[in-house]
Amino acid sequence: MIRARVHVRLKSGVLDPQGRAVADALQGLGYAEALDARVGKVIELDLDETDPARARARASEMAARLLANPVIESFEVEVV
């Protein structure tokens, strides 16, 4: 078994109202240095696979087909 992590983020230039709310809340709590925030998601997949390269390829395929919206999101796959 191999675990893969898929990190999904909004592409730059796409508005992130949730990230803006986080940054505003942090500033409201006194963290003035928190100028901006971007919110994403991490999806962990346990794959029935022994070859790390194949696991990465399959996780990338899954991300491209279902886990990320290619119009507004980008993704990175990490095999751990």
Residues pairing with 42 in the sheet: 7
Q: Assign 59 a pLDDT band (cuts: 50, 70, 90).
A: very high
Average pLDDT over residues 6-31: 97
Q: If DSSP codes are grouped into helix, strand and coil, which group holds residue 70?
A: coil
Predicted pLDDT at 75? 98
pLDDT for 31 equals: 98
* Class for the domain spanning 2-79: alpha beta
pLDDT in the model for residue 36: 96
DSSP 4-28: EEEEEEEPTTS--HHHHHHHHHHHH
Do residues 69 and 14 touch, judged by C-beta distance below 8 A?
no
- Arithmetic mean of pLDDT over the chain: 97
- Domain residue spans in the chain? 2-79
Average pLDDT over residues 30-50: 97
